[in-house]
Amino acid sequence: MEKLIFTIDNLTAWVGKAFAWCIMILTLGVGYEVFVRYVMRDPTSWAFDISYMMYGALFMMAGAYALARESHVRGDVFYRLWKPKTQAKVELTLYITFFFPGVIAMILAGASYAMKSWRYMEVSVMSPANIPIFQFKTIIPLAGALLLVQGIAQVCRCIICLRSGKWPAHLEDVEEMEKVLLHQHEEATKAGEAR
Amino acid sequence: MTNPEIAVLMLAIFVLSILLGFPIWITLMAMGVFFGYYAYYDAERMQTVFDNQIFDLLVNQTYSVMANDVLVAVPLFLFMGYVVERANLVDRLFVTLQIAARRIPGSMAVAALATCALFATATGIIGAVVTLMGMMAFPAMLKAKYDTSFSAGVICAGGCLGILIPPSIMLIVYAAASNVSVVRLYAGAILPGFMLAGLYMVYVIIRAMINPKIAPKVNEEEVAHITTWEITKMMITSFFPLAFLILSVLGAILFGLATPSEAASMGAIGGLVLATVYRIGNVFAGRTVVDWSTRQIGDRMSLIGCLGWGALMTILGYFIFLVGRAILFGIIGGGESVDPNLPVGPGLSIVIALVLAAAYHVTGGNLPLPKQLMPTRAAGVSMVEFAGAGAIGGIIIGTVMQIYIYIGLQVGFVDSYLTESNLWAMEIGYFVGAGAWLGFKVTDWDRLKESVYLSVRTSAMVCWLFVGSWTFSSVFSYLGGHDLIQEWVLGANLTPITFLLLAQFIIFLLGWPLEWSEIIIIFIPIFLPMLAYFGVDPLFFGILVALNLQTSFLTPPMAMAAYYLKGVAPPHVQLIEIFKGVMPFLMIVFLAMFILYQFPGIAMWLPDKVYGN
């Protein structure tokens, strides 16, 4: 079961990180637009469409990655006071009652939405450059599918925790500065006490 | 049950399920789908169980978050923040400011506040600011015999300023939730933000003057030997770049030069440049060791190096020319009629670059140019060689492109409108190649990767919350929930002032268990429709909320700032001491809200002045 979790984590992290590089395209694309508009006085017709597409793609496809890394915000006033087993019970229930119905609705509805768009090869109405957006709309069911797969891994995590009373470890990944520093500080204090 | 009652039930169930600690956007989306399925249930038109408008609604709301032109700025500003955060500027900033402020009472506290405010504004990441300052400034202040509570309060309060002073993510999120323009919000938040920071500083200085025991003076002998020139030099390398970055982003927004996403991308590029320049500085100073800074160099520059130097000097020259021209026409006007092209014909720029390169090669670097522009160290030589290699690669690509287009024009598989760009292909290849390869080689890719991955995760957090919230709230308002709440509030016969007080008090209370993102995305939209009735400007309300939400980081049980500080503080520091230190700053936040209420001009003057009514 742990193997399954790590396979899924690796998959969603890989997709999320791959789409994360859209931020560079977004930054440089909009930066180029600023340069040609304000310095060369010759704006592009595509930069606006590119900007929201990159933004939309990067956050949608990173949803599952963020779920695996516990980056989504929780109202954890009580949650963090509970034992891991209680946490796992509640989470397991909510994954089944809330998460899967919501995400499956998103996949099904998103798929028909995207198919409609594919049928007439929809293009953006925002600019005269006729930039296609059917591939952009396809992101909705794709992101939903990734979330669904990640949800399976999360459910496995809950089951492991219910059995062992401990949350299984995460893959090594970059962490927020505060988490890294808090962890370092903890280790240092422990080492100091041991001495 | 009537529909509005169902809506209230939906809100109640949602609030209860928040407390279960499940990721909030999932709860929101699920509630939206369940109650929406009920709300749009229409047995007659249904052929399958999936024939329900809620599914279209869910997808449409998702797509409107994806294609939202305001939220585009969120990942960009986050990216800028993470890049600046990972560039390790903060310790030098604090040391510099501490020395610069040495004659002011409570100088370390003032320096810590200023560092927090500046760093928090540039990064917008509260946790990172508080932990970094907690590890660096806090022990230094304790060592200088500063009072524990006092120092803790300074760091916690200072670190939270980042969500108020623009460019802040919170204001973008408020703008997306309320349809107030981001630029007006930014313009409105500048003065209140500086006012709050100023009040903090005044408080710190007065406390230090009244009771010097909590903030002892700096030992004169320790700092006496530092000359003004040295301080200036330190300020130039640590304080001004960051301040310049913030001010240029703000300036670009305020003077209407750029939309928020454009300004944010400028900020992100500025952050990248800043981080790279710092890295190059560290490499030159030997603080960072990389393979290209420790290699052997010969007496004379290699040919590739000369080519690279020529290319870089030409780029520098053009850059100064173009930006200078843009600024000049910005000042004197009439820029619309200016020929947007370079002042010289295609191909000539390469000739200039090659002539410069040849001159360098022949004279061996003895050119009548400032010596600073000549690389002497291994790192500098490597850098111009990177540029040279890039330029050669670029010109080859450009030439191939040109030949391809030329043949294509003869044979007919290329349209003739490409002739113009055809002429420039070698040029673009040469200079873009030089710059790109140089940038590629000197970038710290590990840091960049970390920043990219962290910003995408945080963007996903914010934007998925919008996906959930917009689905939830459109079902909520379809059921008539908003109308019902409005009826209640209006039925209570509140005066505008009591309404405002009540709203702010509720937001303050919500800040105890929740964080700003949930409050703004989920709860603020409930208040927004009522503002018009009470004659409250949504912009003014937004600034009040932004001030108010400072407290959401400082009030228990979810006082994230205090917990972060406690986590990195020496073990003898008690959480209760930190809370005690934070209290006066909470009072100052309320004072600032009171002042803002009495003088709304503090928030409204600048946006009205810049953008009109």
- Beta partners for residue A74, in sequence order: B23
Report which of B154, B9, B72, B18 is spatially closest to residue B475, judged by C-alpha positions. B9
CB-CB under 8 Å, A33 with B59: no
Q: How far apart are CA B580 and CA B562, in angstroms?
A: 10
Q: How far apart are CA B21 and CA A94, in angstroms?
A: 10
Is residue A74 very low, low, confident or very high in pLDDT (cuts 50, 70, 90)? Answer: confident
Mean pLDDT lowest among B142-151, B346-355, B587-596: B346-355
Is residue B593 very low, low, confident or very high in pLDDT (cuts 50, 70, 90)? Answer: very high
Report which of A38, A40, A33, A65 is spatially closest to residue A149, judged by C-alpha positions. A65
Tens of pLDDT, residues B201-258: 999 999 988 888 888 877 666 666 777 788 888 888 888 888 888 888 888 777 776 7
Query: Which of B10, B19, B26, B421 would best serve as a mutation to test chain A binding (most A beta carbons within 10 A)?
Result: B26
Mean pLDDT lowest among B109-118, B399-408, B504-513, B574-583: B399-408
Q: How far apart are CA B387 and CA B361, in angstroms?
A: 16
Q: Kindly report the pTM of this predicted structure.
A: 0.89
Q: Tell me the pLDDT of chain B averaged across its residues.
A: 84
Predicted pLDDT at B371: 64
**B 433-452 near A (Cβ less than 8 A):** 449-450, 452
Query: Which of B10, B22, B52, B266 would best serve as a mutation to test chain A binding (most A beta carbons within 10 A)?
Result: B22
Element (H, E) at B77: helix B73-86
Is residue A156 very low, low, confident or very high in pLDDT (cuts 50, 70, 90)? Answer: very high
Tens of pLDDT, residues B348-366: 777 888 888 888 878 776 7
Give the pLDDT mean for B122-134.
85
Is residue B346 very low, low, confident or very high in pLDDT (cuts 50, 70, 90)? Answer: low
Q: How far apart are CA B105 and CA B206, in angstroms?
A: 8
Q: Compute the nearest-CA separation of A165 from chain B (Å).
A: 18
Q: Compute the nearest-CA separation of B34 from chain A (Å).
A: 8
Tokens of B563: 């917990």
Predicted pLDDT at A111: 92
Report which of A69, A119, A95, A31 is spatially closest to residue B263, judged by C-alpha positions. A31
Q: How many CB atoms lie within 10 A of CB B373?
A: 13
Nearest CA in chain A to B513: A77
Nearest CA in chain A to B456: A20
CB-CB under 8 Å, A72 with B132: no
Q: How far apart are CA B311 and CA B228, in angstroms?
A: 38
Predicted pLDDT at B343: 59
Q: Which residue has the higher pLDDT, B27 or B318?
A: B27
CB < 8 Å to B17, chain A: 94, 98
Q: Which residue has the higher pLDDT, B377 or B576?
A: B576
CB-CB under 8 Å, A110 with B456: no
DSSP class of B219: P
**pLDDT greater than 60 at residue B437:** yes
Predicted pLDDT at B29: 92
Tokens of B175: 């703008």
Phi, psi values for residue A166, rounded to 5°: -135, 140
Predicted pLDDT at B515: 80
Tokens of B598: 């009495």
Centroid of chain to Cα B256: 18
CB < 8 Å to B76, chain A: 23, 26-27, 30
Tens of pLDDT, residues B64-104: 999 888 899 999 999 998 988 888 777 788 888 888 888 78
Predicted pLDDT at A60: 93
- Of the candidates B54, B450, B462, which has its C-beta nearest A174's C-beta? B450
Nearest CA in chain A to B452: A20
Tokens of B357: 């390169």
**B 271-310 near A (Cβ less than 8 A):** 272
CB B41 within 8 A of CB A110: no
Give the pLDDT mean for B555-576.
84
CB-CB under 8 Å, A33 with B262: yes
**pLDDT greater than 80 at residue B375:** no
CB-CB under 8 Å, A137 with B564: no
Nearest CA in chain A to B458: A71
Amino acid residing at B451: S
Query: Which of A22, A98, A106 would best serve as a mutation to test chain B binding (most B beta carbons within 10 A)?
Result: A98
Tokens of A154: 């999360």
Centroid of chain to Cα B183: 14
Q: Inform me whether the C-beta atom of residue B342 falls under 8 Å from chain A C-beta atoms.
A: no
- Residue pairs spanning A and B at CB distance below 8 A: 248
**pLDDT greater than 80 at residue B547:** yes
Q: Inform me whether the C-beta atom of residue B169 falls under 8 Å from chain A C-beta atoms.
A: no
Predicted pLDDT at B345: 62
CB-CB under 8 Å, A41 with B456: no
CB < 8 Å to A68, chain B: none
CB-CB under 8 Å, A110 with B62: yes
CB < 8 Å to B555, chain A: none
Q: Please give the share of chain B, as a percent, with pLDDT higher than 70.
A: 92
Q: Compute the nearest-CA separation of A106 from chain B (Å).
A: 7
CB < 8 Å to B26, chain A: 72, 94, 98-99, 102
Which ipTM was obtained for this model?
0.93
- Calculate Rg over the CA atoms of chain A: 21
- Of the candidates B24, B72, B514, which has its C-beta nearest A55's C-beta? B72
Give the pLDDT mean for B132-142.
88
CB < 8 Å to B21, chain A: 74-80, 82, 87, 90
3-state secondary structure of A74: strand
Tens of pLDDT, residues A2-22: 889 889 999 999 999 999 999
Nearest CA in chain B to A34: B262
Nearest CA in chain B to A41: B340
- Of the candidates B130, B335, B457, which has its C-beta nearest A41's C-beta? B335
**B 457-496 near A (Cβ less than 8 A):** 457-465
Q: How far apart are CA B258 and CA A34, in angstroms?
A: 8
Is residue B483 very low, low, confident or very high in pLDDT (cuts 50, 70, 90)? Answer: confident
Predicted pLDDT at B216: 81
Count, residues in chain A: 195
Nearest CA in chain A to B323: A39
Is residue A180 very low, low, confident or very high in pLDDT (cuts 50, 70, 90)? Answer: confident
Q: Compute the nearest-CA separation of B115 from chain A (Å).
A: 17
CB < 8 Å to B516, chain A: none
CB B64 within 8 A of CB A140: no
CB-CB under 8 Å, B567 with A20: no
Q: Compute the nearest-CA separation of B569 from chain A (Å).
A: 8
CB B174 within 8 A of CB B524: yes
3-state secondary structure of B369: coil
Predicted pLDDT at B183: 85
Q: How far apart are CA A105 and CA A96, in angstroms?
A: 13
Q: Compute the nearest-CA separation of B217 from chain A (Å).
A: 29
- Of the candidates A74, A91, A177, which has its C-beta nearest B127's C-beta? A177
Q: Which residue has the higher pLDDT, A141 or B399?
A: A141
Nearest CA in chain A to B463: A59
Q: Compute the nearest-CA separation of B231 from chain A (Å).
A: 29
Nearest CA in chain A to B451: A174
Q: Which residue has the higher pLDDT, B197 or B212?
A: B197
Tens of pLDDT, residues B96-126: 888 888 878 888 899 999 998 888 888 878 8
Phi, psi values for residue A123, rounded to 5°: -120, 160
- Of the candidates A29, A74, A185, which has its C-beta nearest B24's C-beta? A74
Q: How far apart are CA B524 and CA B533, in angstroms?
A: 16
CB < 8 Å to B68, chain A: 52
Q: How many CA atoms lie within 13 A of A80 on its CB side?
A: 9
Give the pLDDT mean for B314-343.
69
Tokens of B37: 């399925």
Tens of pLDDT, residues A120-144: 888 887 777 788 888 999 999 999 9
CB-CB under 8 Å, A181 with B568: yes
Q: How far apart are CA B427 and CA B391, in angstroms?
A: 10
Q: Compute the nearest-CA separation of B360 from chain A (Å).
A: 30
Tens of pLDDT, residues B16-75: 888 888 899 999 999 999 999 888 887 777 777 777 888 889 999 999 999 888 899 999
Q: Please give the share of chain B, as a percent, with pLDDT higher than 90.
A: 18
